Amino acid sequence: MDHNEHTEPRVYELGYHLVPTLAVEQIPAASGAVRGMIEQISKDIIAEELPVFIDLAYTVIKTIDHKNKRFDQAYFGWVKFEANPEGIATLEEALKKDENVLRYLVVKTIKENTFIAKKFTPAKAKAEAEETVAEEVATEAVAEEAIDKAIEELVA
Amino acid sequence: MKKNTQCYFTTNNVKLIDYKDVDILKKFLTPHARMIAGKRTGVSAKYQRQLAQAIKRARFMALLPFVAK
């Protein structure tokens, strides 16, 4: 990519996946490392969301120690920051070397909040929400059966 | 899908379509995860370009599938 066209600082956003093999306790350190890379090239961090554990839409392959590892889940986080275009190349170099980063994407964006939907729901919370919905449906079905029986008794 | 006369993003005053807004992006995909033409959804040309970019970014980041059966 040609980073020389534009030399003024502009707003960027880095989205990244951390490998799911990390324990939850290791996440602040890993995301802190990514934040550290950004702090080296940027003075101004505008917004940030710490990594949350999510299910990926497809299997992502990363080569670790000459072996292809497959991942179906990852910790997804993002950071919005202001930096010079030259800094982005060094940031990408550093991210490529980091073994904890499964995949990343740097995009140009605007200072205002562009994220209008709800925040990312972690994979566990999603599963729990689905379970509670299923339970509610089950109880409703039971209630309907009870009503039907009561009506039949009344008719008889 | 019936053709909408109003653009979803214009009516909601969206400044920039974010690739992380997976729930919104999914509204403009078929069950096979293909993009729906702006002609069908009524999205204006300006936002259809942004939408296509956002969907492709979300696909790369595995937030959306490339294909779904």
Phi, psi of A147 (to 5 degrees): -65, -45
Please report the number of interchain residue pairs, chain A to chain B, with beta-carbon separation below 8 angstroms: 56
- The answer to whether residue A141 neighbours chain B at the CB level (below 8 Å) is no
Q: How confident is the model at residue B2 (pLDDT cuts 50, 70, 90)?
A: low
Given a contact cutoff of 8 angstroms between Cβ atoms, the answer to whether A88 and A106 are in contact is yes
**Quick one: pLDDT at residue A120?**
63
Q: Which of A58, A114, A117 sits opposite B15 (nearest CB)?
A: A114
Question: What value does the mean pLDDT take over residues A95-121?
Answer: 83
Q: Residues 2 to 31 of B: which have CB under 8 A from any A CB?
A: 12, 14-24
Subunit contact A114:B59, Cβ cutoff 8 A: no
Tell me: the pLDDT tens digits for B37-46?
A: 999 999 999 9
Domain boundaries, chain B: 8-60
* Better pLDDT: A128 or A56: A56
| B31 has pLDDT over 90 | yes
Chain segment A87-105, per-residue pLDDT in tens: 899 999 999 998 899 999 9
Per the listing, tokens 């120690």 go with: A65
Q: Please say whether the beta carbons of A53 and A122 come within 8 A.
A: yes
* Cβ proximity of A14 and B19 under 8 Å: no
Per-residue pLDDT of A43-58, as tens digits, reads 889 999 999 999 999 9
B57–A contact, CB cutoff 8 A: yes
Strand partners, B35: B29
CATH code, B8-60? 4.10.640.10
Whole-number Cα distances in Å, A117 to A18, A19, B21, B22: 22, 25, 6, 8
Residues in chain A closer than 8 A to B16 (CB atoms): 109-110, 114
Of A56, A105, A115, the CB nearest to B18: A115
Q: How far apart are CA A43 and CA A46, in angstroms?
A: 10
Output the DSSP codes for A112-145: S----SPPPPPHHHHHHHHHHHHHHHHHHHHHHH
Residue A145 has pLDDT above 80, yes or no: no
The residues, ordered by sequence, that sit 6+ positions from A1 with a Cβ below 8 Å of its Cβ are A89
d(Cα A85, Cα A91) in Å, to the nearest integer? 10
Domain ranges of chain A: 10-113, 121-156
Superfamily of segment(s) A10-113 = Ribosomal protein S6/Translation elongation factor EF1B (3.30.70.60)
Provide the β-strand partners of residue A44. A82
| Token duo for residue A116 | 């209008």
Q: What is the pTM of this model?
A: 0.78
Model ipTM?
0.83
Residue A114 contacts B where some CB pair is shorter than 8 Å:
yes
Q: Nearest CA of chain A to the CA of B63: how many Å?
A: 5
Burial class (CB in 10 A: 0-12, 13-18, 19+), A133: exposed
pLDDT band at A138 (very low <50, low <70, confident <90, very high): low
Closest CA to A29 of A15, A50, A12: A50
pLDDT at A143: 74
Q: Which of A13, A17, A3, A30 is nearest to A87 (CA)?
A: A3
The residue among A52, A97, A57 whose CA lies nearest residue A77 is: A52
